[in-house]
Amino acid sequence: MRDKIFVDTNILVYLSNEDSSFHVEVNKKFIEISAQYELWISRQVLREYAVVMSSPAIIEKPLTAEEVVQDIEKWGKIFKIADETSEVTEILKKLIKEYDLKGKRIHDANIVATMLANLINKLYTLNIDDFKKFKGIELFSFQELIK
């Protein structure tokens, strides 16, 4: 059985957004990672992806509602999807207290809680700084591996 890796929202966005300066490098690393690991996302990641990819304030060429739904269906076939369970909520509460988290940092902690509840300790993200603080998580980007 292959190790699991969780893929952050920004990776899905850059995989899809061919106009991005990160598109080529993210795709290269994604191909490498997908050959080595079992790929995971969460419903939170799918929601965040839909927000970003449909928002003209965030992305230059936003997707239509139909295109967003098609992408959500596509990602559901590529990735295993971790659901938010009561265990995720319990872990999230512990992380909020342990790291004194507030505001948007709680979204990041929820990703970590989802990972931990599903026994995933590897994360592919471009937002390395958002996750460095969490113990026991290995961070992958196309630039480096941080432990």
C-alpha span between 130 and 74 (Å, rounded): 27
Q: How confident is the model at residue 147 (pLDDT cuts 50, 70, 90)?
A: very low
- Residue pair 140/33 in contact by the 8 Å Cβ criterion: yes
For 74-130, what is each residue's pLDDT tens digit?
999 999 999 999 999 999 999 999 999 999 999 999 999 999 999 999 999 999 999
Q: Given 3.65.10.10, 3.30.470.20, 3.40.50.1010, 3.30.380.10, which CATH number is that of 4-85+122-142? A: 3.40.50.1010
C-alpha span between 122 and 146 (Å, rounded): 10
C-alpha span between 142 and 124 (Å, rounded): 9
For 5-38, what is each residue's pLDDT tens digit?
999 999 999 999 988 889 999 999 999 999 999 9
Residues making up the chain, counted from first to last? 147
Start-to-end C-alpha separation, the chain:
22
